[in-house]
Amino acid sequence: MSLRTRVEAALGPQGVLAKRWPHYEERKAQVDLAGDVARTLEHGGVLMAEAPTGVGKSLAYLLPAVLHALDGEERVVVATCTRSLQDQLSERDLPALLEALGLPVPFAVLKGKSNYLCPRALEMADGQGAEEDEAIEALRAWAAVDPTGDLDRFVAPDAEAYRRVRPRVATDPSACTGAVCRRGRECFWARARRVASEARITIVNHALLVRAAEADGLLPSFDVLIIDEAHRLEGVLSSQLEKHVSRHRFDDLLRLTGTVGAPKRGGARATRASGGLLARVRSYALPLLELDPARERLYADLERLSSRADEARAHAEGFFTSIAPGTGVKGGLYGSRQRYRSQGELLGTDLQPLQLLLEHAQVYADALRRTAGAVQSAAESGGMGRDKTGTAGTELSAELELVSGRWERLRADLMELGEALDPDWVYWRSQGAKSQAAELRGAPVSVGDHARRQLLSRARSVVLTSATLSATLSAEGDFDWAAQRLGMGEDLGLPYETATYPSPFPLAQQMRTYVYEGGADEAASIAEVVAELAKATRRNTLVLFTAHQRLRIARDKLRLLLPPDVPLMAQELDGPAGTLIDRFRLSRGAVLLGVQSLWEGVDFPGETLEVLVVAKLPFSVPDDPIVEARGERLRERGVDPFRGDAVPEAVLRFRQGIGRLIRRSDDRGVLVVCDPRLANASYRGPFRAALPVAPDIQRDARALAADAARFLASEMSVTREDV
């Protein structure tokens, strides 16, 4: 019996899930998706599957993954974009499925290093105040009984204190190795990797999956790859591949390296205080090498590094201040950025400031490597005082090697970004609004080649699924844009199949949509309609912006227009997104203003969200360096960048945004788009196709709000044919 047949039988009305789950209902779209996933897992290839909210994607790919993992020796990796969905799959969905099937399939969840508690860091941690002391003591008690050390699972007595403490007790991704710590049996990260190596199914996030493509051994080898929230994979790839160098990166390494001298007093710089690795080397290794000829060389290296710290810091500050974008460069509330295409365009004819920084990085890297060798020799000499085994010396030597490597990477990144030679990369300098210094950044124009060679081609079977993968809502969909961005296609040697599944919800009955044409003052127009909606409906309202500055202006206006009893929350201005999301879910009649992260990946079912306002169609900023460089490539191929790239990208973002509104079959919702382009632009077609019902065009905010209130107060009549 084929895998598809077994999967469809399990999901059928007489199947094992219907017998074990009292409230189970067969969903045709879910059965079809699960069958297509099963066929791909069994026969190989790539499937792009678009399934809207309510289809039940998790069960549709987990069921065939479990049965396939049992059939043979193939390993399955399931990748999601967020740690919260990782936790949902590993703590709820997969255990419930295995219990219903009565099958013992070993599975594991693996996150990045920084999500795991470091026993060594916890042992040395000191709180800054009573709240942090309490959080650290609670962590110690929890670590003694929790087998995972997953910091996301820790319930903190004080969330804010834990937020401050967490980075100090987490495993350091760049500085943690077995050689440094020598606590392999205690290390939660090492334990999680061991469990993953024995599992048939491993649940990871996109970031770890991408890093594993670059680092052998980070993930066990796998044969099947299932990528949920696949529309976000390209963005994660781009951010992971991006390189940057800043003054702060130099400062951090200088602090970590430290000095050996006593603190300077009087008018001297406080940053010249002793501490860090060099001070530890002086106190540990030099006394052990009194009769060793290498002692003088080591002492000279320590003094040389210590004495040049201030000079290196000053050179870094001067360099990154000198390359800041000019005063004529377009900036804003959150800073400015400027693309450069060559070393000459960045630095002009004076290359000495760059050469000085490269020299500093090389000197530190070389001297720290020599120091590591000397410390290791001291550790092996046996003259270790109380540390007879040499463990402390070996750990210190390994730390020196790691920091040396970080100086080497800093030098390599600075050289690459300073020379700007790779035609497949785009380079730019950016500057914060309140900073005098800039930082250099670079990223590939396209991540497609990397995605294909390093990621998607590693598995025999690949499934990419999301609620939004196609740029149209036709029966067949249009997956070409998303596929090309991930390096897939017949001409690229990675063919793929596609499938689109209908929504199980009666969306035309559940939603009312409007286009509001409120006038030339965009922020005032948005504030006016939001205030009228809040007063007329008294329902939770989410307003999605594409720019921080417009959000800030609209917030200032809404504070004057909203009734005093209406809670108003603005992302970042009134707290981080996670905190505001929790407050919003617990509120009634609240208004939440959001950008970026609130366009996708958040769930507001039922009364937690009934009014959604989209301030503007979510086009990328045209002068974004990557967008600009991608447009140049398209023009070279005879493709209009706006129609061929900007529109499909904005359509997918738009679909993600409006997908926040209806999350269940009994939800009701009102969508208001405050962008007249949805009513009259020549390219409005694919955006309009994303709406379940044609929008009403309104110019009167009060009339729009009154109509929305009547709709939300009315009873929804749904026939069986609607569902």
pLDDT band at 216 (very low <50, low <70, confident <90, very high): low
Distances (CA, A) of 439 to 98, 242, 322, 346, 462: 50, 13, 11, 12, 38
**Least confident segment among 7-11, 262-266, 302-306:** 262-266
Establish whether domains 3-111+196-237+447-500 and 507-713 are of one fold: yes
The percent of the chain in helix, strand and coil, each rounded to the nearest 5, is 50, 15, 35
Distance CA 481, CA 230 (A): 13
Three-state secondary structure call for residue 553:
helix
Q: Which residue has the higher pLDDT, 545 or 121?
A: 545
Average per-residue pLDDT for the chain:
87
Q: What is the pLDDT of residue 720?
A: 36
pTM score above 0.95: no
- Residue 419, pLDDT > 50, answer yes
- Residue 94, pLDDT > 80, answer yes
Among 426, 479, 487, CA closest to 457: 487
**Residue-wise pLDDT tens digits, 546-586:** 998 899 999 999 999 999 999 999 998 998 888 899 899 99
Q: What is the pLDDT of residue 413?
A: 96
pLDDT band at 328 (very low <50, low <70, confident <90, very high): very low
CA–centroid distance for 448 within its chain: 18
| Residues paired with residue 117 on neighbouring β-strands, in sequence order | 170
Distance CA 456, CA 564 (A): 53
Among 207, 203, 194, CA closest to 90: 203
Distance CA 386, CA 215 (A): 37
Q: How many CA atoms lie within 13 A of 118 on its CB side?
A: 23
Q: Where are the domains of the chain?
A: 3-111+196-237+447-500, 114-187, 244-313+345-418, 507-713
- Residue 266, pLDDT > 80, answer no
pLDDT band at 391 (very low <50, low <70, confident <90, very high): low
**Residue-wise pLDDT tens digits, 661-670:** 998 888 999 9
**Residue-wise pLDDT tens digits, 134-170:** 989 999 999 999 888 988 888 888 888 888 888 888 8
Beta strands in 434-587 (DSSP E): 439-444, 461-466, 497-500, 511-516, 541-545, 568-570
CATH number of the domain located at residue range(s) 3-111+196-237+447-500 in this protein? 3.40.50.300
Distance CA 677, CA 685 (A): 11
Q: What is the pLDDT of residue 288?
A: 58
CA–centroid distance for 474 within its chain: 30
Q: What is the DSSP letter of 455?
A: I
What's the average model confidence in pLDDT over 482-501?
94
Among 30, 59, 65, CA closest to 501: 30
Distance CA 440, CA 18 (A): 57
What residue spans of 44-158 are helical by DSSP H?
Answer: 57-71, 83-88, 94-101, 119-124, 130-143
DSSP string, 131-197: HHHHHHHHHHHHHTT-SS-BGGG---SSHHHHHHHHHHHB--TTT--HHHH--TTT-HHHHHHHHHH
Distance CA 94, CA 498 (A): 25
Q: What is the pLDDT of residue 263?
A: 41
CA max distance for the chain? 92
Report the top-level CATH class of 507-713. alpha beta
What's the average model confidence in pLDDT over 310-318?
94
Q: Which residue has the higher pLDDT, 187 or 360?
A: 360
The structure tokens 């043979």 sit at 72
What's the average model confidence in pLDDT over 245-253?
92
Q: Are strands 336-340 and 224-227 parallel, antiparallel or unpaired?
A: unpaired
Q: How many CA atoms lie within 13 A of 593 on its CB side?
A: 30
- Residue 634, pLDDT > 90, answer yes
Most confident of 127-131, 157-161, 391-395, 698-702: 698-702
Q: What is the pLDDT of residue 278?
A: 86
The structure tokens 């002793």 sit at 274
**Residue-wise pLDDT tens digits, 454-468:** 999 999 999 999 999
For the beta sheet containing 439-444, the strands, ordered from the edge strand earlier in sequence to the opposite edge, are 243-246, 439-444, 425-431, 336-340
Q: What is the pLDDT of residue 123?
A: 79
Phi, psi at 96, each rounded to 5°? -65, -40
Asked if residues 671 and 661 have their Cβ atoms less than 8 Å apart, the reply is yes
Among 45, 622, 688, CA closest to 337: 622
- Residue 211, pLDDT > 90, answer no
Kind plus residue range of the DSSP H or E element containing 679: helix 677-680
**Least confident segment among 83-87, 233-237, 251-255, 309-313:** 83-87
Q: What is the pLDDT of residue 111?
A: 87
Burial 584-609 (b: 16+ CB within 10 A, else e): bbebebbbbbbbeebbbbbebeeebb
Distance CA 723, CA 717 (A): 11
Kind plus residue range of the DSSP H or E element containing 593: strand 591-595
pLDDT band at 722 (very low <50, low <70, confident <90, very high): very low
Three-state secondary structure call for residue 538:
coil
- Residue 498, pLDDT > 80, answer yes
Which amino acid belongs to residue 648?
P
Phi, psi at 429, each rounded to 5°? -115, 140
DSSP string, 385-408: TT-TT-HHHHHHHHHHHHHHHHHH
What's the average model confidence in pLDDT over 3-16?
94
